[in-house]
Amino acid sequence: MAMAGCTPENWSLQDLSSALQDMHKDHKKIVVPMFQRGSGRWGKEQEKTFIDSLIKGYPVGTMLFYKTVEDNQETYILVDGLQRGNCIRKYMTNPTEFFYDSNISDEFCKNILTIVKSDNEEDYQTIRNLLTAFIKEQKTFKNLQYFNPAKEIAETFGAGYDCIGDLIIIITEFFEKRQDLYDRIASTIIPVIVYSGEEETLPEIFDRINSKGTPLDKYEIYAAAWPVNEKYTISNASIVEYVIAKYDAFTNDGYKIHGYNREDMRASKKVNAFEYLFGLSKYLVEKYEILGFNKNLSSDTVNPLAYELVNACLNDSDKIKTLYVRLRDIELDVLEVALCKAIEFVNNAISIVTKFKGNSRNANKIFHSKYQILSMISTTFKEMYVDGDFSAIAPTWNDKKNIIARNLVHFYVYDILTNYWSEGGTGKIHAAAKPNRYMNEISSRAWMVALDSFFEKSMLRAEKKNIANPKSEEFVFLNCIYLKTFTAMDQLSIEKFDVEHIAPKEQMRKLIDACDGEGLPISCIANLCYLPEYVNRSKGDKNFYQDKKYLLHVKLKDVETKYSFTEQEDMDWMDMPYEKNDFPVLKDYYTDYCTKRFEKIKHLFCESLGIEYEDIIDEEPKIVQKVVVPSNDKQQNKKAKFADKCIIRLAQELNTELIKVGRSTYISNDGNKGYVITTSKAYKQGNREKYWFAYRRNPLADLGNCKEKYVVYGCKDENTLICLPVDEIEKSIDRLNLSTDEDGEVTHWHMVFFKDNAGVVTWMMSKPEIEEISVAKYLV
């Protein structure tokens, strides 16, 4: 018994295909409703499975049509079954598209090989490949000429031309069976329900039916549920063209769209609410780089960006389902202008980070998440305009805009470093506006926690073979620290910048291998810097102090002050002769290097963003003053860094003030004595501790005309200080191992000391033979 308003009908696959192409013998026509989803939703595997079900005679479900009459022609609106209908049309017009090499049996291949006098089963695939390639070039199995594939098979197997006739016979029989199969499928009946109720109910029926089968996303449901014929006239021709492109994706596949006329839409610029937001999404992602999410979606696929953005701007919660109701009372052109002003305000505020010169190799890279940027835009929008009137700026805006602009860039960076938007969706957008999150300043304590956590997280990596590429948060952090060091000319230049590992990747791998180590955080943020491409390419895989060729293009001082924020002593640990069990030592040195450099770049980060660094670090280790006064304050000295502890103890033992004249150089108050301070961690060698230092002459220049010059070696801690006269070092210089650059020039000499369990400290000479000399008289 038929349902009220519904009539069951039987349609053959041939009839369905013809009606979809408006070529039916009885002039029946099938059209697609404007709310249908894109025809490309099914992939190749789904289509293959569906056709296989038809071949095997499996049930494939019922299709739903709405019957009407247009221009005296029976017209059926395809409410449910578009993907099946599209697949049927493809098969009926080009069945060879659904022919696969797996359709050719082993038995058939064996018969072919018998004719060409071959019995190698490995040649089965060759037969399949040749015949599949041939049939894919055809559009039908009917009335084909098989001389060419038969000839190609004969030539492939060197069988001569006498067998071509037999090959043609067997190939013809095979593909005639495929044609018989096609004819059988063409006459297959598929059940159809023809609905003849009210046309206005079709979207609801579509929604309910598609709760099963291939699920619709919520925007496809909105397309069906929102009023189709409630139109708005808009001015933006680009939005209209995106809507036209959506429907043309159907018409290009041979479909007729019910109620769609391309030229009428283009001339009138009339669209419904769903179409408007569909086109607005495509328009915004192309116009604004900061909104460039899902730019590569097909022309008939919904990008949800504008639906989410407009809802966030107009509502206080997720009401996208009924957003069309809100749009009824709004002039869409005015809304669009207001939206663009809010987007541009946010874009300008954060551009110091997003448009930074260092991004030139990542011009299209988006650091933020979609919901983060929508939150910033929608909250700004609500501050800019009084609800309901988007034609005039709110009277309070001028008082707020500078605060919001400053806070937007802070929150932009802070949220990326903390991955704040990695969880949560539209709910978080609305929460940010109640009250306006971006009217509040981020506290110094919050910055401290965020920066330290960011650094600690990047130090958790254990890398050796595979080194992680910089992530969004690392690009953002780097962009911030270089804001102060890159000049306006740097920003305007055409130079490209690389992200460089200060401790180079390849060299770090070798050091880790030498120690039998499991890995270190080579891609840690503290080991990264920006470097001009031409400098980086000329430097090779050495660090800034091991290579000289690149200095033809740039001054070392510029590298240190502008890009790396390092000095030579920071990288001494890379020149140590590490051995098999020295990984703990390497790890300590690398960790210490990263920790110290992060402190430097954290200063730059805070300075660039106008953050009070002193408010962040209230437990900062005490920095030695310009003048070091002898002190017995153990609590004060406890907070000092290793090198600083050494100089404090030296001043205490000498009972004199020491004046700092360089990074690690000091002179006595009377100017007669000068000291270079250097430190080493301890690493075990048998029952003794070993300490390694690099002796370089260049720091001695800071000591000027001091009569007495010393190098003070801090071994493990400030309790073991070796105050070695420079004259003594120079006397023994030829007995020390050394390192040279690629030009053969000495970069440094190796100073190696040992300390045994009894506290005896010796200095190792390596030439002409190994000898250890007591340095007891030089211990502080």
Q: At what angle do helices 305-314 and 273-287 cross, to 10 degrees?
A: 100
Q: Which of 412, 406, 290 is closest to 355 using CA atoms?
A: 290
Q: What is the CA radius of gyration of the chain?
A: 38
pLDDT beyond 50 at 379: yes
- Least confident window among 67-81, 265-279, 326-340: 67-81
CA distances from 108 to 98, 134, 141 (A): 19, 16, 17
pLDDT beyond 60 at 682: yes
Burial letters for 507-520: b for 16+ Cβ neighbours within 10 Å, e otherwise?
Answer: bbbebbeebebebb
pLDDT beyond 60 at 434: yes
Q: pLDDT value at position 1? A: 41
Report domain extents, the chain: 1-216, 285-442, 450-616, 627-778
pLDDT tens-digit series, residues 9-47: 899 999 999 888 877 777 788 888 776 655 456 888 999
The average pLDDT across 427-442 equals 85
Give the Cα separation of 223 and 33 in Å (integer). Answer: 10
- Write out the two tokens for 308: 């989410």
How sure is the predictor about 541, in pLDDT bands with cuts at 50, 70 and 90? confident
pLDDT beyond 50 at 478: yes
pLDDT beyond 90 at 751: yes
Q: Are 455 and 471 in contact (CB under 8 A)?
A: no
The average pLDDT across 151-174 equals 94
pLDDT beyond 90 at 311: yes
Q: Are 454 and 418 in contact (CB under 8 A)?
A: yes
Cis peptide before 435 (omega within 30 of 0): yes
- Write out the two tokens for 633: 């304050």
Give the Cα separation of 135 and 130 in Å (integer). Answer: 9
- Least confident window among 95-104, 190-199, 631-640, 678-687: 631-640
pLDDT beyond 90 at 630: no
Q: Which of 737, 641, 756 is closest to 689 using CA atoms?
A: 756
Give the Cα separation of 507 and 470 in Å (integer). Answer: 19
Q: pLDDT value at position 628? A: 65
Q: pLDDT value at position 339? A: 97
Q: pLDDT value at position 435? A: 79
How sure is the predictor about 219, in pLDDT bands with cuts at 50, 70 and 90? confident
pLDDT beyond 70 at 635: no
Question: Count of CB atoms within 10 A of residue 291's CB?
Answer: 24
The average pLDDT across 571-580 equals 88
Q: pLDDT value at position 61? A: 85
Q: pLDDT value at position 147? A: 95
The average pLDDT across 462-469 equals 90
pLDDT beyond 50 at 72: yes
DSSP string of 607-637, one letter each residue: HHHT--HHHH-TTPPPPPPSEEPP---HHHH
Q: pLDDT value at position 355? A: 81
pLDDT tens-digit series, residues 171-213: 999 999 999 999 999 999 989 988 877 766 766 666 666 555 5
CA distances from 250 to 28, 29, 65, 247 (A): 19, 15, 17, 5
- Write out the two tokens for 550: 């690149």
Q: pLDDT value at position 616? A: 46
Q: pLDDT value at position 227? A: 82
The average pLDDT across 630-646 equals 66
Q: pLDDT value at position 357? A: 57
How sure is the predictor about 488, in pLDDT bands with cuts at 50, 70 and 90? low
pLDDT beyond 90 at 765: yes
pLDDT beyond 80 at 214: no
Average model confidence (pLDDT) for the chain?
87
Give the Cα separation of 382 and 394 in Å (integer). Answer: 9
Q: Is the dihedral of CA 104, 110, 111, 114 positive or negative?
A: positive
Query: pTM of the full predicted structure?
Result: 0.74
Q: pLDDT value at position 436? A: 84
Q: pLDDT value at position 617? A: 46
